[in-house]
Amino acid sequence: MKNGLQKFGKFLSAMVMPNIGAFIAWGFITAFFIEKGWIPNEKLAGLVTPMLNYLLPVLVAYQGGKLVGGDRGGVMGGIAVVGVIVGAPDYPMLMGAMLMGPIGGFVIKKFDKAMEGHMPAGFEMLINNFSVGIFGMILAIIGSYLIGPLMAAILVVLSSGVDVLVNHGLLPLAAIFVEPAKVLFLNNAINHGIFTPIATLQAQEAGKSIMYMLEANPGPGLGVLLAYWAFSKDKATKDSAPGAVIIHFLGGIHEIYFPYVLMNPVVIIAPIIGNICAITFYSIMKAGLVGPSSPGSIIAFMSMSPKGSGMIITFLGVVIAAAVSFLVASPIIKMSGAKSLEEAQAKKDSMKAEAKGGAPAAALTGADVKAADIKKIIFACDAGMGSSAMGATKFRNRIKPLNLGIVVTNTSVDNVPGDANVVVCQTILQERAAKSAPQARLVTLNNFLADPSLDALYGELAALSSGAGEQTADAPAAEEPKKEAKKGVLIEEGIKTGLPSVDKETAIRAAGKLLCELGFVNEDYIDAMVEREKLVTTYMGMGVAIPHGTSNAKETVKKSGIVVMQYPDGVDFGDEKANLVIGIAGVGDEHLEILANIAGSLEDEELLENLKKNADVDTIMKTFG
């Protein structure tokens, strides 16, 4: 149930977060130009209602449709939500957009799937355009007569429930759910699924809403971090707290304080009580924000405050939350032992993996296979053509001096051979791996190039080698014959150096576009690369990411090819930076030799550093090709 909520919250967040800038623009226009705003302007105030009723729902629905059905799904979502807007003209249909956008994407995705291989030559454009038009019209009609009135009724019920809580002074109790939800990565389901739609409706009527303040207040987390800074007995934790304060309070990255709570779960009482006090204060003062505060930094939180004394009241609520949280957390931290922040960080990473749809991280799981019985190790990823190939090559080279005769190779996670003794896969894929190879021992990890779980497996094999006597020492190493990379898989035109930093999706799409321009794939493969990244990260570790398409996208690959994009300042892949973004398209195994060369180059730290930041096209070509 928790995993389901986490996935739901992540999906809602993926629809809303790319459009937060539009929400903020609407919030600023409201704050500045309405009759009670900072600088009232009747003409500019006329922007408020159209943006709220049309622009924001259409943007959210487009994003939701695109997440499910690509660009065509986005168009479908935009058409469908207009019907919902017309069906409930008195309410901002953000909730309707969150429903109709994905439905539109799903419908066109299913249609496109059904038409694969059945599209008459020469009629592709006609069918593609008319299918979106016809299905979009049908969904718009359904939205107008059914979904719009239904969403309006749900909004009325939810708003009435909030009014009851406010009128009876019970709204502060929401903190009992909000603060633990943040630590458990359930905050997106609550914030974007419930709070934002209700707050937007209230802000339309009253010019502000307290609902925007329930989750975004940085005060509760600030109090916890200050308490650790002042009273932690663990030096590493104490020394790390000041930096965390800056990132949390000014940067708005609340996730930074989650490990501090997880290392001593009783501390969760502090932000709960701190937020209860802040919400109580805001309720008494009839406070509210004019738009969503995202990220939840003090800068964004204050900028969404209404005219007049609103900013002072907003700031005082943050101070109250921080002070109470600090006072409650301090004695708890003083009385607790010196617990490790590293352990708590690992626990947080495990929970974050769950929030992305995976199972909790576990170093060694599955069947009970002893080190002495290991004859074949399989590295498995979704498609079996990228991350697993590099991981297998690197680990094969690592255990080669042990002379254990163990075969190390790679495959897709759904096609693990029956004689595999150990399967190495990313945490999020462990259920599929267990189903594919129930006889094997599972080693789950976060990336294939550098992970404590791999170190643990290597340690067992090294111990076996050192204690096995002369027989093991004389055993032949399981070494695959070295092959030369096939010509044409990597060409000079497929290497771009010195690129400026961009966001992850832009970098992935740039690699896909280059693969397409060089004739390795068609355009559909680019979306498949983005979709693959949503399933499980293609970041390998050591500054290298290898984005590629999903296993279902192989029909879009014309021939095997690799492109190398060098970003000296790095591209953010979650909590890590990739300097080399290596786009892959594989038909057979032609690309695997180059991946082996890439994995081999990672053994030389000086060479790797040069490849990531300074190497020119010729150097990369000679090293990888």
The residues assigned a catalytic role are 381, 548
- The answer to whether 200 and 209 are in contact (CB under 8 A) is yes
Report the candidate in 180, 215, 185 with the shortest Cα–Cα distance to residue 10: 185
Task: Count Cβ neighbours within 10 Å for each residue of 236-275 and write b for 16 or more, e otherwise.
Answer: ebbebbeebbebbbebbbbbbbbbbbbbbeebbebbbbbb
Residue 542 φ/ψ, nearest 5 degrees = 60, 25
Angle between helices 592-601 and 617-624 (to 10 degrees): 110
Q: How long a stretch of residues is the chain? A: 625
Residue with tokens 């791996």: 433
Please state, in angstroms and rounded to a whole number, the distance separating the CA atoms of residues 41 and 62.
31
Please state, in angstroms and rounded to a whole number, the distance separating the CA atoms of residues 576 and 303.
30
- The answer to whether 544 and 566 are in contact (CB under 8 A) is no
3-state SS class at 545: strand
Q: Please give the C-alpha separations between residue 593 and each of 447, 582, 596, 600, in angstroms, as whole numbers.
A: 20, 14, 5, 10
Q: How far apart are the first and last CA of the chain?
A: 48
Please state, in angstroms and rounded to a whole number, the distance separating the CA atoms of residues 543 and 608.
9
Please state, in angstroms and rounded to a whole number, the distance separating the CA atoms of residues 571 and 49.
38
Give the tokens for residue 172.
Answer: 């502060």
Give the tokens for residue 64.
Answer: 């939701």
